[in-house]
Structure 1
Amino acid sequence: MAAETGAPPAELVISGWAVSSPYGLGRTAFAGGLASGRRAIAPLDGADWPVPYEEAGLIPGFDIKAVLGRKGTRSMDRVTGIAAATVGMLLEQYGAGLAADAESTGLVLGTSGSVQSIMDFTRDALTGDKPYLVDPARFPNTVMNCPTGQSAIRHTLKGPNVTVSGGAATALLSLQYASRLLRGGHGRALLAGAAEEFSVQRARLERVADHGGAAPQPLGEGAALFLLEGATDARESGRPVLATVLGSRFRAFQDTARAGTALEACVADVLAAAGAAPDDVELIAPGTPPGLLGKQEESALDGLTGNRLPVRSLVGDAGAASAAFQLAAVLAEAEADPRLVDRLTLVTAVDRDGTAGALLLRPA
């Protein structure tokens, strides 16, 4: 844990963001794709992707060595490459001055890890030629915090380094964790968000998972990272205040039929803490999972009149990166629509493993 950095910030803001998505690398491609309503899900080449899906939302032409160079990428897996590339884009645009305070700049990354790396390494351990059996350089990829650690090393982030995993709610949990670190004085600026990869093994597991009686949705991949810091630090550093983080709330549920009740409580709590009413929410980015979970989320949001922002239907089920894409979509929409300035926006998520969450923002 980094050393304490002084008084905690009174107000936390998002002062930058970057995204790698099925629309391409960067904010421009993502915002343009969403604005056009273009579906970024495309047919899969069965020779390259022997999976039980006919289409998916892949980052177009993503190649780790082409994006990051050959140095340090020989053994890098896909999710680590996506995370490192997105962290790099964020720092390139908004990182002026952060390198001078590397000890107080950290990373909180949400990820499910790479099931492909884990299963490939396990297979090699059982089938590889003796005496070595496996490539030891690939062992770090089997650890869930590999993308976080490798991204921090590559971009010289020496502050707190945390990996969070929570299914569809992962990015919201990452933002909450980063907020707690900042309020506890354990950093001055934190990159927080989530990353997910598309892989053969992930596709096979998702195909047989319980989707609440609904057919599995096409899978997506990518990452979105957000620069979180105190409002005063952002302004003094010349970075724009894009949105104020008003708070987040989470609930656990055991029965899927109770997911709506859990999410409704999250929304009510986060609004009450901000002194806001349901009618104050102008824009909502729901997770819209398939089946009963989706219906439960809809019922929990029935009392809110804000416009809905579709994301999953355009980019696919991005797994751990789902809520990160939702938050990125909110920031892109706020940048394009001045009417959202100083209005409230809400990002929600419900995960099939029993987590519901809500994040409240006020775009600047």
Structure 2
Amino acid sequence: MSVTLAAGADPDTLVVSGWSAATPYGLGTRAFTEGVRALRDAVRAADGDADLGPYERAGRVPGFDVRTVLGRKGTRAMDRATGLAVATAGMLLEQAGPGLAQDAPEAVGMVLGTGHGSVQSIMDFTRDSLTGEKPFHVDPALFPNTVMNRAAGQSAIWHTLRGPNTTIAGGAPTGLLALNYAARLLRQRHCEAVLCGAVEEFSPERAWLEYRARTGGGHRQPAGPLGEGCALFLLEPLSRARAHGRAALASLLGARFIAFTDPERAGEAVARAVTEALKEADVRPEDVDLLVPSDSGGPLGAREDAALTGIFGEHRPPRLRLRRLVGDLGAASASVQLAAALTAGADRPVLVTSVDPDGQTGAVVLRTGDR
């Protein structure tokens, strides 16, 4: 996507000047864009001997193998979540053009969201310590995969990003939180550009944990199929994007996050977050052209939908619902929603919302392209 930059645009405006994704549609922006625009179902039944845990279908990145995609060097002990993040960062850096990280590596930061890190790695390492002849008879090369910031740290090392490196965990809104955190880093001049987004892997271990949490006592939300993926964005000031010949794919206009303790009041939290984000963005509800809600289903999703209906009334902008197409991507859900917003076309105000059963909600307002 390319747009003509307005001569009078504020050079300090933070813009998304590149993005990439690894999703159930495949690797890269083209596969994702084509899948979303066609509203194609990417949730599939198990192939071969794949273990989907309690689920019959899942939204897995097709054919993704860490060693095949990244090579054998340095990947022997790399977990799937880290592999997805490293691969997606590589695709984004290649798209951004030579010199983004090499010319001034300390100027480029990384903010990566995740749920728990690699659930499979955590559980495998713990099991080895319990079942081995001695607790310390474990593979030390696998230990780094058990810490939450493994994917962010390894992505930065792999691609020589020496700026601030941060890991964010906040449930379904994690991708929005990562974008907001990246914006704060830039506004405080801690770096000049940031790769930000979120990653989540599919594994039988994560599948069983999510299933038990959803169907056990205190039912929280529908136990629909899970998915996996990673979406990353290059966020930088408009002036820097221009100087390096990159187009402004979207401008960040406003963001708000609200916590709630009572699930019955989730709708009120969504409404407040959206209202305040629109106010910050100086965008009227009737000017919004597209809504990308979290589409979580069940009572929580109904409250989110009701809150949006209450705000937009008869305007009724179209709603792009991704979860039913790619599965529940956990912490990567909101980042993939943001990626979907970038496929909407130029010069459109877009609202992305997310709500999590643990009590977080967020809203981000973007204007795709630059006017």
SS in 1 for 2:321: coil
Q: Distance in 2 between matches of 1:95 and 1:157?
A: 15
SS of equivalent to 1:307 = coil
Q: How does 1:304-343 map to 2 (within 5 A)?
A: 304=312, 305-334=316-345, 341-343=346-348
Once the two structures are superposed, the pairs formed by residues 1-364 of structure 1 within 5 Å of their partners are 10-45=12-47, 47-49=49-51, 51-98=53-100, 99-112=102-115, 113-130=117-134, 132-210=136-214, 212=219, 214-302=221-309, 303-304=311-312, 305-334=316-345, 341-364=346-369
C-alpha distance after superposition, 1:305-343 (max 9, x if no partner): 221112111000000100111111110222xxxxxx323
Q: Which consecutive residues of structure 2, in runs of 5 or more, have no partner in the other structure? A: 1-9
How big is the shift at 1:273? 1.3
Offset of residue 290 of structure 1? 2.2
Conservation of the 8 A alpha-carbon contact between 2:25 and 2:61: yes
After superposition, the C-alpha distances for 1:51-100 in whole angstroms (9 at most, x for unaligned) are 10000000001100000001110000010000000000000111432120
> Which residue identity is paired with 1:310?
R
- SS of 1:140's equivalent in the other structure is helix
The verdict on how the C-alpha distance between 1:296 and 1:134 changes in structure 2, with shifts beyond 3 A counting, is same
> Structure 1 CA distance, aligned partners of 2:113 and 2:44?
26
Tell me how far apart the structure 1 counterparts of residues 264 and 114 of structure 2 sit (CA, whole Å): 26
CA contact (8 A) 2:52 2:58 kept: no
Please report the RMSD computed on the Cα atoms of aligned residues, expressed in angstroms: 1.5
Q: Give per-residue Cα distances to partners, 1:160-192, cap 9 Å, x unaligned.
A: 100000110000000000000000000100000
Partner of 1:338: none
> Does the 8 Å contact 1:168/1:350 carry over to 2?
yes
Aligned partner letter, 2:113: G
* Cα distance in 1, alignment partners of residues 59 and 159 from structure 2: 27
Code of the residue aligned with 1:358 in structure 2: it is: A
d(CA) in 2 for partners of 1:215, 1:330: 25
Deviations 1:285-307 (A, max 9, x none): 00011211101100110032221
Please tell me whether the aligned partners of residues 126 and 133 of structure 1 are also in contact (alpha carbons under 8 angstroms): no
Distance 1:187 1:103 in 2: 8
| 1:215 to partner: Cα distance | 3.2
- Equivalent in the alignment of 1:5: none
Q: Is the 8 A contact 1:127 1:133 kept in 2?
A: no
| Aligned amino acid, residue 313 of structure 1 | R
- For 2:331, the aligned partner's letter is A
Q: Using the alignment, how far apart are the partners of 1:50 and 1:329 within structure 2?
A: 26
Contact 2:52–2:203 at 8 Å: present in 1 too?
no
Q: Which amino acid letter does the alignment assign opposite residue 107 of structure 1?
A: M
Q: Structure 1 CA distance, aligned partners of 2:340 and 2:277?
A: 20
Give the distance between the partners of 2:344 and 2:157, measured in 1 at CA. Answer: 32
1: distance between equivalents of 2:94 and 2:221?
Answer: 41
SS at match of 2:195: strand
2:231 partner amino acid: A
Q: Which residue of 2 aligns with 1:4?
A: none
TM-score by length of 2: 0.92
Q: Note the C-alpha offset of 1:9.
A: 6.7
Give me the identity figure in percent: 56
Q: How many residues align?
A: 351
Q: How far, CA to CA, are the matches of 1:251 and 1:30 in structure 2?
A: 30
| Amino acid of the structure 1 residue aligned with 2:289 | E
Q: Structure 1 CA distance, aligned partners of 2:133 and 2:189?
A: 50
Work out whether residues 176 and 248 of structure 1, in 8 Å CA contact, stay in contact via their aligned partners in 2: yes
The 2-side partners of 1:274 and 1:18 are apart by 25
Gaps in structure 1 of 5+ consecutive residues: 1-7, 335-340
